[in-house]
Amino acid sequence: MSRPARVDYDLEAAKANLQRVRGLAPRQKIMAIIKADAYGHGLQRMAAAFSAADAFGVACLEEAQGLRDRGVKHPIVLLEGPFSPGELREMQRLALDIVIHHDEQIAMLRDLPEGHRLGVWLKVDSGMHRLGFAPQRVRGVWEDLQRCGAVAPPVRLMTHLACAHERGHPSVPVQLACFAQACADIRTERCIANSAALLAWPAAYADWVRPGIMLYGVSPFTDSSAAAEGLRPVMSLRSQLIAVKTVRAGEGVGYGGDWHCPEDMPIGIVALGYGDGYPRHARPGTPVLVNGKRTALIGKASMDMLSVDLRPVPAAAVGDPVLLWGAGLAVEEVARWADTIPYEILCGVRGRPQFLDPNAG
């Protein structure tokens, strides 16, 4: 029998989440963000699930190549643009759109030999201060790009909100006003809203929206659940108990022996650990479902295994199913116990857990 660690991806849930976006922004085009291997869900798998989107957003040329190699015809937007001049010819060949956010990239475009003209998005730094041109430069840079022979006009505009995931944060209307002023009198399509802005800031919808985390059934907020936002989890991480034992009161469990049994108690060993993407820094008490019943992590997660408290599940036996997160246990809750964010946890699940398609058959 193969190792029982499994990850499944509910593609019907993914499609439902995209429909949730359509319901929120019915007049806008959707750029589905599938960078970082689609937040750990599989680039090709999620591109197929999100085929009803109008475009895909990725972080690098390699991700775009993988999509084109599999026959994906959607517009693909490189969210960080070219990193070197040598990439541009391949971007032309693949007919990609690129985000331009600094002067060196404009110089690369000017030096580009004739060929396929690239679609361009001009990034505006409206206050996040990560990527983008200063607001006072936007009109001039936009006009320069419009005239560039390597660019297919019209050049679109985009920005990114730093605090949209905090409801009512005062920086959001400031950034929206900054972007509007910087782009005043420029007649072209615009894109502002990420997942959080889609759910909480309708003023940010513009012509395009670019959902990421919500497509995977995860809330971008700390004060609400995915279910409360009308979202369904796509990824579920599962395994089984491979050992059950009784440990005496006062005995330590796991590496370092830092967690001590408060009484004689049954514990279970799960065939899954940080080598499968489970967060090593998850604290004792992190929720786990055994046989569908809620219990908790005890001790430190190791590379291939972790230990759970079986007192709430006294009849548990070797081979019983364990859910680490997914349908029935929100990854957002696990992330809080691990002092991290669900984005990081989802992106960490790569390679070793076997894929199980819950919609098969």
Q: DSSP labels for 255-316?
A: GGG-EE-SSSEEEEEES--GGGT--TTPPTT-EEEETTEEEEEES---SS-EEEE-TT-TT-
The CATH number given to 11-219 is 3.20.20.10
Question: What integer pLDDT is reported at residue 113 of this predicted model?
Answer: 83
Question: What integer pLDDT is reported at residue 357 of this predicted model?
Answer: 56
What is the DSSP-derived secondary structure letter of residue 112?
Answer: P
What ranges do the domains of the chain cover? Answer: 11-219, 235-356
245 is catalytic: no
Catalytic residue among 39, 205, 255, 278: 255
Q: Residue 319: CB partners within 8 Å, gap ≥ 6?
A: 240, 241
Residue 306 · residue 272 · CB < 8 Å: yes
Q: pTM score > 0.85 for this model?
A: yes
Q: How many CA atoms lie within 13 A of 319 on its CB side?
A: 1
73 is catalytic: no
Catalytic residue among 9, 29, 35, 274: 35
pLDDT (tens place) for every residue of the chain, 361 residues total: 589 999 999 999 999 999 999 999 999 999 999 999 999 999 999 999 999 999 999 999 999 999 999 999 999 999 999 999 999 999 999 999 999 999 999 999 999 987 789 999 999 999 999 999 999 999 999 999 999 999 999 999 999 999 999 999 999 999 999 999 999 999 999 999 999 999 999 999 999 999 999 999 999 998 899 999 999 999 999 999 999 999 999 999 999 999 999 999 999 999 999 999 999 999 999 999 999 999 999 999 999 999 999 999 999 999 999 999 999 999 999 999 999 999 999 999 976 777 655 554 4
The CATH number given to 235-356 is 2.40.37.10
Please give the single-letter amino acid code of residue 157.
L
Question: What integer pLDDT is reported at residue 46 of this predicted model?
Answer: 97
What is the DSSP-derived secondary structure letter of residue 189?
Answer: -
Question: What integer pLDDT is reported at residue 355 of this predicted model?
Answer: 64
